[in-house]
């Protein structure tokens, strides 16, 4: 049996949005009759971790933590050298036909390209983001941005085989002459039980994730603040994945507003990924607002797929390919844009919905997830993609 190696520069098997995608792709490859192995690199680990997750073997290599001047860069250099040695050894001892890299960029991209060409191994890159300059902070932020652009525009097309997450990326790489496939957020739908209807006294909204500024969680909070006093009493917004300090300092929601909304906005901190599904299912809607910019349209939010799979309709404005799967008052409610005003209006609409309508929307959301975000849907198309390499 031939082997496929899935490689990423982050933690496995949980703790990173890309990890869910990797595992789902691994399950597809197993159904195509490949032996599959996942390799990750984690700066938070001090020793190599090995295990089996959902029937897929994985290994996480540590990134050395050195001290002194330029210690971060020395650690990363050593980790990359050690990782490439591991990959070369693994490929020489296993019948590896294909390596799929998830966000290799320049750190690993050139090395993987040269290694696979030399050893006649197929190579594919999974591309899920098109970051803008503001995404790269720190002292060398602009340099990181330029290296990212080089990878997206020059390096990845040289790999030729591209797995994309959105139509924008699919069309871009297809025009570059690449062998391309589009696979949106994919999940193991069998892990999600029957759709239930929570007996909520209030309209319960939920956000579960790491709320960077692009998710506009602050606008949801301010939209609730803009409601009338009686309306506000009927709404509860549950936030998982961050703390009050982050929301007040990084998302710039004043302490005074958070104090005034203490009965309507509940900030619950970080919870284990395994608990996210249950918290989602307790809500009437999940909420996701993003600006209509290229970086938002290039990616596709995992949160949308996870919410619908849990039978929870989504409140969102239409960016990326969300409009392919979200119809207003069917799988969720559509915001005109990501502004506070539009979000306030859509929350007011949600308050008017009957229980029967909300249950209909839960069932509709789950049906879409079962057909579109189920990894088994893409067995045939991924098999053809590999055959065309």
Q: Give the CATH number of the domain where residue 132 resides.
A: 3.40.50.2000
- Measured between alpha carbons, how far is 334 from 56 in angstroms, rounded to an integer? 37
Mean pLDDT, residues 41-66? 83
- pLDDT above 70 for 71: no
Q: Are residues 36 and 164 in the same domain?
A: yes
Q: Are residues 199 and 134 in the same domain?
A: no
Q: Are residues 246 and 298 in the same domain?
A: yes
pLDDT for residue 91? 96
pLDDT for residue 135? 80
pLDDT for residue 69? 47
Q: Are residues 104 and 172 in the same domain?
A: yes
pLDDT for residue 139? 77
Count of Cβ atoms closer than 10 Å to residue 23 Cβ:
24
pLDDT for residue 45? 65
Query: pLDDT digits over 109-129, tens only?
Result: 999 999 999 999 999 999 999
Of 182 and 196, the structure prediction assigns the larger pLDDT to: 182
| pLDDT band per the 50, 70, 90 thresholds, residue 64 | low
Instruction: Output b/e per residue, 318-348; b: 16+ Cβ within 10 A.
Output: bbbbbeebbeeebbbbbbeebbbebbbbbbb
- pLDDT above 80 for 137: no
Q: Are residues 34 and 59 in the same domain?
A: yes
- Measured between alpha carbons, how far is 182 from 163 in angstroms, rounded to an integer? 6
- pLDDT above 80 for 145: yes
Query: pLDDT digits over 198-247, tens only?
Result: 889 999 999 998 766 667 899 999 999 999 999 999 999 999 988 899 89
Range of the domain at 35: 3-186+375-387
Of 105 and 365, the structure prediction assigns the larger pLDDT to: 365
| pLDDT band per the 50, 70, 90 thresholds, residue 17 | confident
Across the beta sheet with 161-164, the strand order is 49-53, 56-62, 35-42, 3-8, 96-102, 122-127, 161-164, 179-182
Contact yes or no for 239/268 (Cβ under 8 A): yes
Q: Are residues 151 and 195 in the same domain?
A: no
**Burial level of 55, CB count in 10 A (0-12/13-18/19+)?**
exposed
Those residues whose C-beta lies under 8 Å from the C-beta of residue 378, and which sit 6 or more positions away, are 28, 183, 186
Please state, for a pLDDT cut of 70, what percent of the chain lies above it. 96
Average pLDDT, the chain: 91
Q: Are residues 100 and 178 in the same domain?
A: yes
Query: pLDDT digits over 248-293, tens only?
Result: 988 888 999 999 999 999 999 888 887 888 899 999 999 999 999 9
Give the DSSP H or E segment for 246.
helix 244-249
Q: Are residues 260 and 295 in the same domain?
A: yes
pLDDT for residue 196? 86
Provide the domain count of the chain. Answer: 2
């Amino acid at each position: 049996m031939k082997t496929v190696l899935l490689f990423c520069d982050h933690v496995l098997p949980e703790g990173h949005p890309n990890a869910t995608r990797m595992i789902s792709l691994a399950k597809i490859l197993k159904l195509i009759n490949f032996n599959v192995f996942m390799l990750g690199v984690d700066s938070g680990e001090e020793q190599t971790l090995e295990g089996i997750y959902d029937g897929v073997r994985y290994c996480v290599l540590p990134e050395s933590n050195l001290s002194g001047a330029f210690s971060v860069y020395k650690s990363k250099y050593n980790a990359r050298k050690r990782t490439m040695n591991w990959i070369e050894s693994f490929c020489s001892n296993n019948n590896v036909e294909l390596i799929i890299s998830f966000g290799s960029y320049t750190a690993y991209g050139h090395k993987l390209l040269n290694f696979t060409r030399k050893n006649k191994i197929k190579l594919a890159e999974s591309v899920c983001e098109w970051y803008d300059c503001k995404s790269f902070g720190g002292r060398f932020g602009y340099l990181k941005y330029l290296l990212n652009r080089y990878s997206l525009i020059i390096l990845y097309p040289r790999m030729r085989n591209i797995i994309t997450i959105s139509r924008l990326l699919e069309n871009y790489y297809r025009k570059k002459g690449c062998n391309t496939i589009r696979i949106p957020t994919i999940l193991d739908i069998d892990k999600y039980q029957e759709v239930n209807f929570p007996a909520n006294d209030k309209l319960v909204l939920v956000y579960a994730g790491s709320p960077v500024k692009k998710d506009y969680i602050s606008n949801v909070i301010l939209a609730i603040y803009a409601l009338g006093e009686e309306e506000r009493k009927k709404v509860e917004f549950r936030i998982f994945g961050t703390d009050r300090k982050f929301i007040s300092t990084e998302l710039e929601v004043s302490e005074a507003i958070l104090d005034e909304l203490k009965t309507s906005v509940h900030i619950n901190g970080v919870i284990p990924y395994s608990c996210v599904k249950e918290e989602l299912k307790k809500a009437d809607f999940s909420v996701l607002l993003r600006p209509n910019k290229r970086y938002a349209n290039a990616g596709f939010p995992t949160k949308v797929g996870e919410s619908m799979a849990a039978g929870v309709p989504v409140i969102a404005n239409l960016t990326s390919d969300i409009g392919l799967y979200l119809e207003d008052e069917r799988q969720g409610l559509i915001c005109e844009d990501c502004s506070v005003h539009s979000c306030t209006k859509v929350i007011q609409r949600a308050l008017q919905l009957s229980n029967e309508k909300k249950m209909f929307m839960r069932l509709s959301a789950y049906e879409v997830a079962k057909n579109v975000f189920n990894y088994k849907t893409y067995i045939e198309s991924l098999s053809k993609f590999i055959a065309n390499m």
